[in-house]
Chains A and B, each alone.
Chain A
Amino acid sequence: MSRIVNDNFGPAGRTTTAVKANAKFTAVATATSSLSEVNVRHEGIDARNLADNYIVVKSIYADNDNSSEDFQYNMVGTYGGAFEVNHTGSSPSAGSGLLLDMSSSPMVLKNNDLLRIFHACVLTQDDGYGRVTQPATDYFMITFPVWDITSASLSNFETLPAHDSDLNNAATTQVDIDLEANKSGGIALYAMTGRNVVSGTDFLMRRNGMSVWHYKHGGADQTIYGIRINANGPYQYVQIGTSVRGWEQVTVSSTGITHVKMSHGHVGALQMRGGQP
């Protein structure tokens, strides 16, 4: 509270004294040192008074230029493993991929900030490299966001909080899913089978995956230098135990698909502040 509560001089017609005048302006000085909502007129602040980005602190976006030739991943007779969804063409430059590069201007999450990472991609079976005709074999690929919170060199991308670290393992691994340390929000799944409705006729498998990861940051400031979309697979959904489900890595040869393309992808991140419960 910083209202001024002193009274008028009085009675009318008398000459003021320096002591009384000083008391009044001391009250002004006191009030202005702790201005609060009681000093500001109701709805008195306009948009022009607000600094930029007072709700959306930072937003960043990248896509792959909508080229169907981007992000080709050749799965030749091996298990999969995590890999970057990179661009292989000439525009944009090779290697940029679905990367949000914030190394020159990092995102700094403060306590209670809301971070939203959304991404989508299209997985296409490369026609001519095998096709799948068994709809009951539930093979799938995944894409997921990872972040680099180590340095601006963007050389240490790691899984997001509460994701199984094996999600981003380049070796053959199994991803656990539970309700504690191995949550699975923000991960997009791409089915790898379709149905060859006419025997001997080529068909093109094409799947659209998308997901959003919502995260309320708690604690000390967290600097994020980069966010990237990685992929992994092929997987098969399995029961591991009584309380754990998982995605088990399967061989590429068992899927019948040796080449896939990840295309038409985009990734965006939104940092919002001031709405915490």
Chain B
Amino acid sequence: MTYKWTEGSQRTNALLDSDEVNREYNNYKNVLNGGIDRENIPLNAVTDLHLKSQAFWSYDLTRGIQPGLSTGVTHITYHTYHGGWRTDPASARTLTLREGMLHVDFSCWFQFVQLHPANEQRWCRFQLLLDNSVIARTGKDYSYVGNVNLSACVPVAGGAHTVDMQWQFTPPAVATAASTDAFFFSGGQLLINNRYR
């Protein structure tokens, strides 16, 4: 041990009185009973094998996210969707977090049938929310297939917090049949990293 004790070593003294032993022994005892710190521990000595899980950070991973409004892997139709932001149940995560930084990362691909008429160009977009506040949002994507990668790092207080992913798709035009395949996304993965050290 490289620690320099504040008391003199009893090995250099003749031990005549129990008080001398007590004083010098208690110095060792106090260090071992909760006083070990960076001075006692060698450089690079603490590896991941010595660390408890979630000593510095914790993560929550949800995979296989796709729209809750679709059946199986079929498209959302205008029978069940008429526009506006929708929260996907699979991506709504309520977690007990510790004070620090929160890194939220969402990735998926999407597909829909794009239409020709200039007055009915379809689009989709996605956003991430922390406690109902938007922390990241895509623009409108008019491509019939594409990818979404949303990532945000925000400070977070300790306690329970909710992270949601929401999506939005073009509302139906007047002449659009309700049964029309509208929109689908899949391969959704939501990673929530809480870093507190």
Contact = CB atoms under 8 A, between A and B. Distances in A.
Please say whether chains A and B are actual partners in one complex. yes
Interface of A: 2-4, 8-16, 21, 24, 28, 31-32, 35, 37-41, 44-46, 48-52, 54-55, 57, 112, 114, 116, 135-136, 138, 140, 162, 177-179, 183-191, 193, 207, 209-214, 216, 237, 239, 242-245, 272-277
Contacts of B42: 49
Interface centre among B22, B26, B54, B145 (most CB of A within 10 A): B145
Q: Taking chain A's interface residues, is the majority helix, strand, or loop, or is none over half, making it mixed?
A: loop
Contact of A31 (B25, B32, B46, B146): B32
Interface of B: 15-19, 21-22, 25-26, 28-29, 32-38, 41-48, 51-61, 63-64, 66, 72-74, 105, 107-109, 111, 113-116, 143-147, 149, 184, 186-189, 191, 193-194
B144 A8 contact: no
10 contacts: A16-B21, A49-B38, A50-B47, A54-B48, A138-B114, A189-B109, A191-B145, A214-B107, A237-B111, A275-B57
A179 B56 contact: no
A140 B16 CA distance: 89
A100 B60 CA distance: 26
Nearest to B72: A243
A274 B53 contact: yes
A272 B191 CA distance: 13
B43 A35 contact: no
A187 B143 CA distance: 16
B105 A54 contact: no
Given A21-B15, A244-B73, 8 more contacts: A44-B37, A44-B38, A45-B38, A49-B38, A189-B147, A211-B107, A214-B189, A275-B53
Contacts, number: 218
Contacts of B73: 177-179, 243-245
A268 B66 CA distance: 25
Contact of B189 (A31, A57, A112, A213): A213
Q: Report the 9 A-B pairs with minimum CB-CB distance, sorted nearest first.
A: A44-B37, A9-B18, A184-B187, A46-B38, A212-B107, A185-B187, A51-B47, A245-B73, A41-B37
B59 A114 contact: yes
A35 B34 CA distance: 10
